[in-house]
Amino acid sequence: MGELFEIQNTLSFNKDKLVDGNDFDYVTRTSQNQGILQETGFVNEENINPAGTWSLGLLQMDFFYREKPWYAGQFVRKIVPKIELNKNSILFFTVIFNKQKQNLLSGLVRDVDKAFLTAKIHLPTQNGKIDFAFMENFIAELEAERIAELEAYLSATGLQDYTLTKEEEKALQGFEGVEFEEFRIEDVLDWQPQKEIDPLKLDNLKDVNQKLYPFYGQATINNGIISYNQLVDEVLNNKEGKSTILIHSNNQNTVYLETPFYLKDGHGATSVLQSEKLNKLNALYFMSSIKKVILSKYSYNAKATKIELKNTLISLPSSQGVPLYAYMEVFIKAVQKLVIKEVVEYADRKIEATREVVKK
């Protein structure tokens, strides 16, 4: 790896130095939102990291390509290419970088630079040189395949219809006039008993007669799903498949699910929340309100324990002290349509642009 890339330290500062603006990304060790905590205006010249590099967060060892100049928080490295790369070869190398994740996590942080630079990777070659043309075509074909799948999914689910109803338009237009009130999470969501599993004991719990259900941990990727398993009924959570929110204390990750599930042993570090009024739409609203608070209030060293979470205040639309569940649902449906509109239009553009690739 060291023949093609350098790994460098970044000059860091805390988020209290950020200013208004969106010319720069402020990148931290988080795995969420491509490592971007928020955008900022110009802070200083010496701390700027250039576009065209990768950030490496030393918490989860996630690599993200940076398309614009960026500032760094603590525990972030910078990967600088020694070779010229195009868009598709950047995607190709990003995958290769992130395949180093387990190797980097298994060592000490102080050894990350050496482990990265000495890692050996397999690349396509032609006549003894890296075959960038193959990378370009390979990524283009994958993109075309995924876009075709996306188009089929949007059509099958009816999501191509992104026209707002009058009720949805009203919800968006009237948002500024809605009254909000702060509620303790414990007052609007109910903590559920949970069954946790030691991953080393999965083999002892297997039962091929059971259905396949997701096994959740506290990872921030893949919505926290580690794997899918068939285990004995005694360790299954949420057997009725109710709408459920998971909050992980260690990294403040928040997940929605509506199936039975298994839960990795985290010494009670995961909160399992339900409510008789909870459904997928208002759960998304709840999660946004929860994340807005806990991501700024808690960290790994100041964990969002269950006691802390129960007393955490979140802001919800309300009337006379009662959350407006119906309003939350209509609002989220409207937002979804606005997002889907962009996805559908993007898919249409990409399908037209990659039609020749699909034929090949």
Residue 35 within any structural domain of the chain: yes
- We report the CATH number of the domain holding residue 207 as 3.90.220.20
Residue 137 burial (10 A CB sphere; 0-12, 13-18, 19+): middle
115 and 69 in one domain? yes
Residue 98 within any structural domain of the chain: yes
Residue 274 within any structural domain of the chain: yes
Please indicate whether residue 332 or residue 152 has the higher confidence score (pLDDT).
332
Using 50, 70 and 90 to split pLDDT, how confident is the model at 354? low
Please indicate whether residue 151 or residue 283 has the higher confidence score (pLDDT).
283
183 and 317 in one domain? yes
pTM of the model as a whole: 0.65
Residue 129 within any structural domain of the chain: no
Distance CA 104, CA 138 (A): 27
Residue 130 within any structural domain of the chain: no
194 and 99 in one domain? no
Domain containing residue 248: 179-323
298 and 195 in one domain? yes
Rounded percentage of the chain residues whose pLDDT exceeds 90 = 72
Q: What is the mean pLDDT of the chain?
A: 92
pLDDT at 359 over 70: no
248 and 184 in one domain? yes
The arithmetic mean of pLDDT across residues 168-195, rounded, is 93
149 and 97 in one domain? no
184 and 319 in one domain? yes
pLDDT of residue 355: 60
Residue 173 within any structural domain of the chain: no
> In terms of DSSP H, where are the helices of 158-217?
166-173, 185-188
The arithmetic mean of pLDDT across residues 345-357, rounded, is 71
285 and 210 in one domain? yes
Residue 330 within any structural domain of the chain: no
Using 50, 70 and 90 to split pLDDT, how confident is the model at 43? very high
> In this predicted model, what pLDDT tens digit does every residue of 109-124 receive, in sequence order?
999 999 999 999 999 9
313 and 205 in one domain? yes
Distance CA 130, CA 258 (A): 46
Amino acid in the structure at residue 153: Y
pLDDT at 11 over 70: yes
Using 50, 70 and 90 to split pLDDT, how confident is the model at 272? very high
Please indicate whether residue 167 or residue 301 has the higher confidence score (pLDDT).
167
Here the tokens at position 67 are 């398309």
From the CB of residue 277, how many other CB atoms can be counted at a distance below 10 Å?
A: 13
Total number of domains constituting the chain: 3
Q: How far apart are the first and last CA of the chain?
A: 33
188 and 78 in one domain? no
199 and 306 in one domain? yes
pLDDT of residue 287: 96
Residue 12 within any structural domain of the chain: yes
Strand residues in the chain grouped as ranges (E):
5-9, 24-27, 36-40, 53-57, 62-66, 70-72, 76-81, 125-126, 129-130, 180-184, 190-191, 196-197, 213-216, 225-229, 244-248, 254-257, 262-264, 270-274, 313-319, 322-323
218 and 92 in one domain? no
